[in-house]
Structure 1
Amino acid sequence: MAWTQVYDPMGNLGLSALIAAIPIIIIFYLLAVRRSPGQVAGAAAVVAAVLVAILVYKMPVATALTATGIGALYGVFPIFWIVITAIFLYNMTVESGQFEIIKDSVASVTDDRRLQALLIAFAFGAFLEGSAGFGTPVAISAGMLVGLGFNPLYAAGLCLIANTAPVAFGGIGIPIIVAGQVSGLETIKISQMVGRQLPFLSVLIPMYLVVLMAGWKAMLEVLPACVVAGVAFAGFQYFASNFLGPELPDILSSLACIIALAIFLKCWKPANIWRFPGEKPAQSCAGPKGHGYTFGQIMKAWSPFIILTAMVILWGLKPVQTVLDAATIKWVVPGLDKMTIQVAPIMKEATPMAAVFKINYLSAAGTALFFASIISAAILGIGPARFISLLAKTFKQLRKPLITIPCVLGLAYIMNFSGMSSTLGLFLAGTGSYFPFFAPLLGWVGVFLTGSDTSANALFSNLQVITAQQVGVDPVLTVAANSSGGVTGKMISPQSIAVATAATGLVGKEGDLFRFAIFHSIGLAIVVGLMTLLQAYVLTWMIP
Structure 2
Amino acid sequence: MLVETFDPFHNLLVSSLVAAIPILLFLLCLTVFKMKGIYAALLNLAVTFLIAVFLFNLPIGESIASVIQGTIQGVWPIGYIIIMAVWLYKISVVSGKFDVLRASISGISQDQRIQLLLIGFCFNAFLEGAAGFGVPIAICAVLLVALGFNPLQAAMLCLIANAASGAFGAVGIPVAILDTLNLAGHVTSMNVSMMTALTLPLINFTIPFLLIFIMNGFKGIKEVLPAILVVATTYTVTQVVITLFLGPELANIIPALLSMGALALFLRTWKPKHIFLLHNQETEIVHHTAGDVIKAWSPFYLLSLFVLAWSLPAFKQLFMQGGALAFTKLQFGIPGSTLSSSIDFVSATGTAILLACLVTILTTKSISMAASVELLGKTVSEFWISIVMICAVLGIAKLMTYAGLTNALGESVAKTGTLFPLLSPVLGWIGVFMTGSVVNSNTLFASIQATAASIVGTNSTLLVTANTAGGVMAKLISPQSIAIATAAVSATGKESELTKMTIRYSVGLLAFVCIWTFILSLFL
**TM-score bracket, shorter-length normalisation:** 0.7 to 0.9
Give matches, 1:156-305, under 5 Å: 157-158=159-160, 160-164=162-166, 170=172, 183=185, 194-208=196-210, 220=221, 225-235=227-237, 250=251, 254=256, 257-266=259-268, 267-269=270-272, 271=274, 273=276, 283-286=283-286, 292-305=287-300
Q: 1:332, 1:357 within 8 Å by CA — same for their partners in 2?
A: yes
* Mapped pair 1:533 → 2:518: yes
1:487 equivalent to 2:464? Answer no
- Within the candidate set 312, 335, 341, 1:317 is matched to 312
User: Match for residue 367 of structure 1?
Assistant: 351
Distance 2:282 2:41 in 1: 40
- Cα 1:443–1:139 change in 2 (3 A) is closer
How far apart, in 2, do the equivalents of 1:154 and 1:75 lie?
A: 31
Partners of 2:378 and 2:54 in 1: CA distance: 42
Counterpart in 2 of 1:406? 391
Q: 1:9 corresponds to which residue?
A: 8
SS of the aligned residue for 1:363 comes to: coil
Does the residue aligned with 1:529 lie in a helix, a strand or coil? Answer: helix
Cα offset, 1:401, TM superposition: 2.0
Paired AA for residue 60 in structure 1: P
Write the distance in 2 (CA, Å) between the matches of 1:189 and 1:81.
Answer: 23
Residue of structure 2 in register with 1:351 after alignment: none
Residue 22 of structure 2: aligned partner:
23
User: What displacement does 1:375 show?
Assistant: 0.9
DSSP-derived class of the 2:284 partner: coil
Residue-pair matches, total? 494
Cα distance in 1 between the residues matched to 2:371 and 2:121: 33
CA distance in 2 between partners of 1:49 and 1:235 (Å):
42
Unpaired segments ≥5 residues, structure 2: 146-150, 320-324
Residue 451 of structure 1 aligns to a residue whose secondary structure is helix
> How far, CA to CA, are the matches of 1:519 and 1:60 in structure 2?
46
Is the CA contact (8 Å cut-off) linking 2:3 and 2:402 kept in structure 1? no
Could you say if the C-alpha distance between residues 433 and 386 of structure 1 is closer, same or farther in structure 2, counting changes exceeding 3 Å? closer
The 5 A counterparts of 1:406-485 are: 406-441=391-426, 451=440, 460-461=449-450, 463-468=452-457, 475-476=458-459, 479-485=461-467
Q: Contact conserved, 2:414 with 2:455, CA < 8 A, in 1? A: no
Distance 1:153 1:87, change over 3 A: farther
Measure, in 2, the Cα distance between the counterparts of 1:231 and 1:76: 37
Cα distance in 1 for residues equivalent to 2:431 and 2:143: 34
Give the Cα–Cα distance (whole angstroms) in 1 for the partners of residues 137 and 508 of structure 2.
23
Partner residue in 2 for 1:330: 331
Change (3 A) 1:450 1:177: closer
- Kindly indicate whether the alpha-carbon contact (under 8 Å) linking 2:438 and 2:472 is maintained by their aligned counterparts in 1: no
Shift of 1:45: 2.3
Deviation at residue 310 of structure 1 after TM alignment: 1.3
Q: What amino acid is the match of 2:360? A: S
Tell me which residue corresponds to 2:148: none
Find the counterpart in structure 1 of residue 108 from structure 2: 109
Which range moved further: 522-531 or 444-453? 444-453
Alpha carbons of structure 1 residues 27 and 79: separation in structure 2 relative to 1, 3 Å:
same
Q: Give 1:360 deviation, angstroms.
A: 0.9
Contact 1:195 / 1:241 at 8 angstroms: preserved in 2? yes
User: Cα distance, 1:53 vs. partner?
Assistant: 1.9
Judge conservation of contact 2:173–2:249 (CA < 8 Å) in 1. Answer: no
**SS in structure 2 opposite 1:109?**
coil
Measure the CA separation in 2 of the matches of 1:119 and 1:5. Answer: 55
How far apart are the structure 2 equivalents of 1:9 and 1:309? 49
Q: Is the 8 A contact 1:161 1:209 kept in 2?
A: no
CA–CA separation in structure 2 for the residues paired with 1:188 and 1:361 = 21
What CA distance in whole angstroms lies between the structure 2 residues aligned with 1:504 and 1:146? 9
Contact conserved, 1:315 with 1:321, CA < 8 A, in 2? yes
Which piece of structure 1 moves more, 524-533 or 373-382?
Answer: 524-533
Deviations along 1:44-86, one digit per CA (max 9) or x if unpaired, are: 2222222222233222233223212321222122111111111
Give the structure 2 partner of residue 52 of structure 1. 51
Aligned AA (2:456): T
Q: Using the TM superposition, give the Cα deviation of residue 306 of structure 1 relative to its aligned residue in structure 2, in angstroms.
A: 1.7
Matches of 1:61 and 1:484 in 2, distance apart?
Answer: 34
Q: Is the 8 A contact 1:62 1:335 kept in 2?
A: yes
The more displaced of 105-114 and 363-372 is: 105-114
Q: Sequence identity of aligned pairs in percent?
A: 27
1:363 deviates by 1.4
- Give SS of 1:72's match: helix
In the TM superposition, residue 208 of structure 1 has moved relative to its aligned partner by 4.7
Q: Deviations over 1:26-45 (max 9, x none)?
A: 32233344443221222222
Give the CA RMSD over aligned residues: 4.7
How many angstroms apart in 1 are the aligned matches of 2:247 and 2:378? 38
Q: Distance in 1 between matches of 2:188 and 2:330?
A: 31
**Residues 281-314 of structure 1: CA distance to partner in whole angstroms, max 9, x if unpaired?**
664332xxxxx31111111222111211111112
Shift of 1:329: 0.9
Gaps of 5+ in 1: 287-291, 338-354, 469-474
The answer to whether the Cα contact below 8 Å between 2:298 and 2:360 also exists between their aligned partners in 1 is yes
The one-letter code sitting in structure 2 at the alignment partner of 1:205 is: I
Pick one of 302, 307, 324 that aligns with 1:307: 302
The SS at the match of 2:35 is: coil
* Per-residue deviation, 1:465: 3.7
Q: 1:319 to 1:75 in 2, by over 3 A?
A: same
**Relative to structure 2, which stretch is displaced further, 459-468 or 44-53?**
459-468
CA distance, structure 1, for counterparts of residue 233 and residue 250 of structure 2: 14
User: Is contact 2:8-2:15 (8 Å) kept?
Assistant: yes
Q: 1:480 to 1:3 in 2, by over 3 A?
A: closer
Q: Quick check: 1:444–1:488 contact (8 Å CA) kept in 2? A: yes
> How far 1:254 sits from its partner (Å)?
5.0
Question: Contact 2:208 / 2:232 at 8 angstroms: preserved in 1?
Answer: yes
Q: 1:215 to 1:74 in 2, by over 3 A?
A: farther
Rounded to whole Å, the distance in 1 between the matches of 2:218 and 2:34 is 31
- Listed one character per residue, the Cα deviations across residues 323-370 of structure 1 (whole Å, up to 9, x for unaligned) are 465211112223343xxxxxxxxxxxxxxxxx3322112111111111
Q: Which moved more, 1:320-329 or 1:83-92?
A: 320-329
Q: Deviations over 1:142-181 (max 9, x none)?
A: 46526636679769845753324658x9579969999999
Counterparts of 2:219 and 2:21, CA distance in 1:
41
